[in-house]
Structure 1
Amino acid sequence: MTTTTTTRPAAVPGARMEAEMRQQPEVLAALVDRWPALTAQVAALTDGAPPLGVAFLARGSSDHAALLGRYAVELRTGLPTCLVAPSVATAYGRAPEGFQGWLLVALSQSGRTPEIVDLARRYADAGARVVAVTNDGGSALAGAAHLSIALEAGPEVAVPATKTVTGQLLALLALAAGLAPGGFGSAGLTQAQAAALPDAVARVLADAESAERAAALLADHDRLAVVGRGACYPAALESALKLQETTGLMAHGFSTADFRHGPIAVCGPEAPALLLAGSGPADADTLDLRDALAARRAPILLAGAAPEADLPWPALGHLGDCVTATVRGQQLALATARRLGIDPDRPAGLNKVTMTS
């Protein structure tokens, strides 16, 4: 009797990450559908009176989303904002004070990071109104908040966060719109503008070849700078993080303005620069870096709305550029990891939930 053995095909490296990336247009479209409800809930939380200020509490990718939140709130409302330093309370033992009348926006994709949950409760006790932005509406963080914005992105299994990050970005743009329904000029994002994002992201995801060509350059180097300004600055930080955790490359994210003040010196023939430049008023400054980088003989990858971009995305003309830029960064990290023979679904020494306390 003869027996045959069936061999299962090896899993494609990064299959989970790629599958979750491809769900982003659907996740974003669902958030756009909820836009009127989300903005109304935020407006109701403040009882028609703006808070004295808005503080953001986050770690990791959520911290990068919080940075976009700061831009959106400051542009839309003019309110003072800050990023909370968790260690002030957790390591140094300083209880939060002076936040009566403030809004605290606590971000955690899982909603289970002990440090974020604990601090959300402490800030609520200090008089802040707390908004939780998390993928799990039944999480401990959601339970500690006065208002929970659940991303409802479905399970995210891959260690590199993708759909929950872009979901957070759009949720924070909705939050800013809810804080000031009239807005200031053209600042912030309208529902109509948000509605164009799912298609823009789908177009980026459909263009995998650009990312594969760019990955061929990055795979020959072990360090790089990722640079952006304005809406693209949070995306630069997030793209650098995605490259770090999926490939092990020494990638660092910089504000264009800060990059000019010294870090540009790290770039040269062996250290390329990835420039993120969308279609906003801060992006011309990033494009202007090309001459200085060329003088240093640094390889340059340009991602953005310019016709000559190596990694293009549609010109949006608003803070939504951060979403498309972030997706391009995810795509590049995945392609680079695969080119290096690394499975980004199993990054060494990393877990899905980081249990800081």
Structure 2
Amino acid sequence: MCGIVGYIGWRDAAPLVVEGLKRLEYRGYDSFGVATENGEIRVVKRSGRISENGADITALGGTIGIGHTRWATHGVPNDTNAHPHTDCSGRIAVVHNGIIENYAVLKRKLIENGHRFASETDTEVIAHLVEEHHRGDLLAAVTEAVRHLEGSYAILVIAKDDTRIIAARKSSPLVLGIGDGETLCASDITPLLDHTERAVYLEDGDIAALTPARIDVYHDGVAVERAVNHITWSVDDAKKGGFEHYMLKEIYEQPQVFYNTIKALEKDSRLSMLRIPSEITVAACGTSYHASMAFRYLVQEYTTKRLSVELASEFKYYTPPVRDMVIGVTQSGETADTLAAIEAAKARNCPTLAVTNVLGSSITRSADWTVFMCAGPEISVAATKSFTAQLAVFMGMVNVMADGRFTEPLAHAHRSIERVLSTDLEAAVGLLGSATGMFYVGRGVFYPVALEGALKMKEISYIHAEGYAAGELKHGPFALLSTETPVVAICIPGQTYGVMLSNIKEMKARGAPIIGIGVEGDTEVESVVDVFVTVPEDHPMVQAVTVSVVLQLLAYHTANALCRDIDKPRNLAKSVTVE
């Protein structure tokens, strides 16, 4: 959701914090702020974007600073509700990611004790709690304050005349960077890339005291050691590289991402454990859920195992038939609902496996085993290469379960992905330019591909798009078909081809403009659709990926034609770290 950055060292803190916050803009936010310690606590915060309204922040002064980009949860997005928040005296400043569930109770007690609140946020209670317990030692005050908090948090705290930043986390990510005579901290690795290759990931319940020279970490009041990790991502990995948008850059990175992920899986001997359980349950949200649904179709078609897919956000409201292994899928490794599903599985003594893109993320510490997607940093809010990397992971898993039956097509899949990057979508984009609603339809593994295609379109173009299993259209949605309701129909040779072709003809008979996705040379599909878009003929697994890439490009070019803010779509955030 929100982003936080902190710096303590020998350089001016404010410019470095601002730079780091700009690196986190992809998370989505509606206000921002920075606080520094320079003999006093100085704070600048306001609504809007830091690139438009933050020119004066860099003049704050001081070598200790914390900053925040806020996505409103408690209280409207305005200058007052923006972080950092301070105590009554203005001597303590706090930034916070997450949600304090018991903030209303805490706020009432603090008001009774004479504290004065300025904002509507849950975060401000933290500043007043630290003030309540401050007796000259900021670390001790934060340690006592967090004992009263219920919910999730990543917190940075500074105080007048204190030469430390105090950091704490619970169910919200926080990574520390070790520099040369300086220490940095952030919500994820991106703001650290310019400054260090060494990172420390705090674990749930950790509290750390940061100085320019050292990091002291405590857990339950006891000093602990946390491993120093080498950062393999480069600064260039997080830049646009000449593309107009991060999303387009990341779409074009997918052939290499798929290839890298498949190659990494070939060396992962742990995947042999997938042959053991007879039943597997996958928990995921959003794009990860769609990739997991595709996994289910592939497992059912090519193996004898049983696999079910559950929405992680619904996992706790009923008792799904969880036996044997549970797999949690999350690009960021911080998706709150997926983390909760993994914890629920562990409570039932199920072996757990995480599929994630981020080394050191929360799910890697929670699950028994982890498989990493080799996607690199994904900056655009709309997931593209992480979806492809998830498909690569799942296809690699199916290959293991099927004793290497698909090694050859997967090894060359990147070539087909490269070919579809040059697909001409001008006619399809033109057909969608005036649409206010549309459908994506497919069957079998192309049903979840249709769901993901619709999600991409609605995320970045704001066109209302719905994905459907083609056989379900007659059960209600047919009533919406008209000359003003375009349909993207996926019709690939295979078991579903004949019935899918019939569905296209039925939709066409209702007047709906059809964009057909089929293989090169399929004149039968081409003859019944308004716009025919082709993918190379290949193994069905590979075609699930190539069709997905074409649908990403269709969403991108449509949104671009409509002048949308593609990398930062409205109301959305990259990592959903709260329920």
The answer as to whether partners of 2:262 and 2:393 remain within 8 angstroms in 1 is no
Task: Give structure 2 stretches of 5+ with no counterpart.
Answer: 1-240
Structure 2 CA distance, aligned partners of 1:271 and 1:230? 23
Residue equivalent to 1:99: 322
Count of residue correspondences: 331
Moved more, 324-333 or 70-79: 70-79
Residue in 2 that maps onto 1:353: 575
Q: Deviations over 1:103-149 (max 9, x none)?
A: 21211010111221122122023122212111113211122222211
Does structure 1 residue 167 correspond to structure 2 residue 389?
yes
Identical residues among aligned pairs (%): 28
Paired position in structure 2 for 1:140:
362
Does the aligned pair in 2 maintain the 1:228–1:283 contact within 8 Å? no
Question: For residue 457 of structure 2, what is the aligned residue in structure 1?
Answer: 243
Show the counterpart of 1:127: 349
Map residues 257-336 of structure 1 onto 2, 5 A cutoff: 257-307=471-521, 308=526, 310-336=532-558
| d(CA) in 1 for partners of 2:436, 2:321 | 45
SS class of match (2:573): coil
- Secondary structure at 1:226 match in 2: strand
Give the SS at the match of 2:541: coil
Matched with 1:212 is 426
Give the distance between the partners of 1:131 and 1:242, measured in 2 at CA: 27
SS in 2 for 1:320: helix
Query: Which residue does the alignment assign to 2:412?
Result: 196
Report the equivalent of 1:32: 262
5+ residue gaps, structure 1 = 1-10, 183-188
What is the SS of the residue equivalent to 2:382? coil
**1:88 & 1:333 partners in 2: Cα distance?**
28
Higher strand share: 2
Q: What TM-score results when the alignment is normalised by the length of structure 1?
A: 0.87
Is the 2:289–2:311 Cα contact (8 Å) retained in structure 1? Answer: no
- Could you say if the C-alpha distance between residues 334 and 352 of structure 1 is closer, same or farther in structure 2, counting changes exceeding 3 Å? same
1:266-286 deviation per Cα after TM superposition (whole angstroms, max 9, x unaligned): 211010110012233223322
The answer as to whether partners of 1:277 and 1:287 remain within 8 angstroms in 2 is yes
**What is the Cα-based RMSD across aligned positions, in Å?**
2.1
| Structure 1 residue aligned with 2:143 | none
SS of the residue corresponding to residue 414 of structure 2 reads helix
The Cα shift of 1:320 comes to: 2.2
Which has a greater percent of helix?
Answer: 1
TM-fit CA distance, 1:305: 1.1
- Taking structure 2 as the reference length, what is the TM-score of the superposition? 0.54
Q: Offset at 1:98?
A: 5.9
1:265-317: per-residue Cα shift (whole Å, max 9, x none)? Answer: 32110101100122332233222222212211110101121533722111113
Look up the match of 1:186: none
Distance 1:223 1:13 in 2: 29
Q: Give the counterpart letter for 1:53 in structure 2.
A: E
Deviation string for 1:187-217 (max 9, x for gaps)? xx6121112211111111122xx22221111
Matched, 1:52 2:52: no
Contact 1:13-1:343 at 8 Å conserved across structures: no
Corresponding residue for 2:43?
none
Contact residue 280 and residue 308 of structure 2 kept, 8 A: yes
What's the secondary structure of 1:137's corresponding residue?
coil
> What code does the residue aligned with 1:142 have?
T
Superposition map of 1:43-82 within 5 A: 43=272, 45-46=273-274, 50-82=276-308
Change (3 A) 1:33 1:259: same
Cα separation, 2, equivalents of 1:12 and 1:31: 24
Structure 2 residue matching 1:287: 3-state secondary structure: helix
User: Which structure's relative contact order is higher, taking Cα pairs within 8 Å and 6+ residues apart?
Assistant: 1
Q: Contact 1:230/1:283 (CA < 8 Å) preserved in 2?
A: no
**Within 2, Cα distance between the matches of 1:119 and 1:337?**
34
Change (3 A) 1:221 1:104: same
SS at match of 1:69: helix
The aligned counterpart of 1:7 is none
Match of 1:16 among 231, 237, 246: 246
Q: 8 Å contact 1:99–1:127 — kept in the other structure?
A: no
Q: Name the aligned partner's letter for residue 481 of structure 2.
A: C
SS in 2 for 1:122: helix
Instruction: Say whether the 8 Å CA contact 2:461–2:558 is kept in structure 1.
Output: yes
Aligned pairs for 1:170-181 (under 5 A) are 170-181=392-403
Measure the CA separation in 2 of the matches of 1:195 and 1:57: 27
Q: Distance in 1 between matches of 2:459 and 2:443?
A: 23
**Bigger radius of gyration, 1 or 2?**
2
Partner of 1:41: 270
For 1:21 and 1:120, how far apart are their aligned partners in 2? 30
Alpha carbons 1:137, 1:149 under 8 Å: kept: no
Amino acid at match of 1:353: S
Q: Following the alignment from structure 1 to structure 2, what is the Cα–Cα distance between the partners of residues 16 and 88?
A: 31
**Retained in 1: the 8 A contact 2:409–2:539?**
no
**SS of residue paired to 2:354:** strand
User: Per the alignment, do residues 195 and 340 of structure 1 end up closer, same or farther by CA in structure 2, a change over 3 Å counting?
Assistant: same
Structure 1 residues 258 and 78, CA, compared in 2 at 3 Å: closer, same or farther? farther
